[in-house]
Amino acid sequence: MVDALELKDVKYMYKPVEHGIGWRGDVKNIALSIDKVKGLGFRPKLSSTEAVRKTALLLKREILRH
């Protein structure tokens, strides 16, 4: 997000909690599979990184319009 929006001087804050860094109830690691929908013929057009970047840029454009 920071890179996509070309933000400068961003301060990242990580606060330790019971089981590492994050917040109570945070999922530290997650691995999703799209194998089932691929089996039905789905083919993603974007990677997760590309999708986040595209969404960030679209939101930025929308915010600047208003």
For residue 56, the 8-state DSSP code is: H
Tokens of 49: 């990184």
For residue 52, give the 3-state DSSP assignment: helix
Task: For the chain, give every domain's residue range.
Answer: 16-65
Q: Is the dihedral of CA 54, 60, 65, 66 positive or negative?
A: positive
Over residues 21-58, the pLDDT tens digits come to 666 777 777 788 999 999 999 999 999 899 999 999 99
Alpha-carbon span 3 to 35, nearest angstrom: 30
pTM over 0.75: no
